Amino acid sequence: MTELIFAKSFIQTLESRPFKITADHVEDPKNYPSRGATILPKMRKPPAKRQKLAPGQERSIYVSLKSSRNPPLDVTLSALSPNTSILNLKESLSEKEGIPVEKLRILYNKKPVGDAKVLKDVIGEEETKVEFSIMVMGGAASVRKVDTPEKGAEAPVAQGPSGLESLAGEEFWSDLQGFLVQRLRNEEQGNKVFEVFKKAWEGSSK
C-alpha cells in the first residue's frame, strides 16, 4: 500500500511540471550537482626527431663558453665537429681572449672535463648545442697575454706583495679557489672548501 501511495505522489509531482522547457528557460547553477574539478594530464613532450643526414654529412655543434666571474666571458663557437676535443675549445678561446691555454678550465654540469674528451663523448649523439662553464686560474689581469717588450728595453722589476702580504690580495685566493675546484673535480664542493679556508684565515688574522 505504501508503494502505491508513493507512486501516485510521484506521478502528481511530474504532472505539475510543464511538459516542455520554454525557450527562455534558465537553470539555476545552484541546483547543479556538485562535481570535482577535472584536471587533464600534462601532455608529454614529444621526443626530438633524429635528423637524417646525407651520406658523408656530419652534424654541426654550436658551443657556448661562458664565465660569470672575473673575467666575464661569453664566446660562441659554431659549426664544430662532434670530434672536436676540449683542448681544441681551449685553444680557440685562448686565441680570442688572449688567455693562456694552461690557465683555462672547462666545466660541464659543474664538473671539470678532461682535455682528451671530444664533444660527442660529453653531449651524446643527438644534441647539436652545448654550454660549458669557464674557469680562469689565477684571476683575470694576471693571465692576460701581454705584448713582448722590444729587445734592449729593460724589463721593470716585479713589484708586489710577498709572503703573508700576498694573502691580502684577490689573486692568491682566486688561485686557491681554482686549485680546489680542479682537485676535487666539483665546483660546488671546491667553493665550500674554499670558503672554509678563507673564513679560518680571516678569523685567525683578527
Question: Which is nearest to 172 in space by CA: 164, 135, 146?
Answer: 164
Contact in structure between 87 and 115 (CB atoms under 8 Å): yes
Q: Which of 132-146, 155-169, 174-188 has the lowest mean pLDDT?
A: 155-169
105-114 pLDDT, tens digit per residue, is 899 988 899 9
Residue 165 has pLDDT above 70, yes or no: no
1-39 pLDDT, tens digit per residue, is 688 888 888 888 877 776 677 777 777 878 777 777 778
What burial letters (b/e) apply to 16-33, b meaning 16+ CB within 10 Å? eeeeeeeeeeeeeeeeee
- One-letter amino acid for residue 13 of the chain: T
Which residues does residue 77 pair with via DSSP β-bridges, in sequence order?
Answer: 63
Residue 134 has pLDDT above 70, yes or no: yes
Question: Which is nearest to 134 in space by CA: 90, 168, 195?
Answer: 90
166-201 pLDDT, tens digit per residue, is 666 677 777 788 888 878 878 888 888 888 888 887
Query: What CA–CA distance (Å, rounded) separates 63 from 126?
Result: 14
Residue-range domains of the chain with CATH: 61-136 (3.10.20.90), 167-204 (1.10.286.70)
Query: What CA–CA distance (Å, rounded) separates 185 from 160?
Result: 31
The model carries a pTM of 0.46
Residue 78 has pLDDT above 50, yes or no: yes
Residue 69 CB contacts under 8 Å (≥ 6 apart), including other chains: 135, 136
What was the pLDDT predicted at 199? 84
36-57 pLDDT, tens digit per residue, is 777 888 877 666 565 555 555 6
Name the E strands within 70-127. Answer: 73-80, 104-108, 111-112
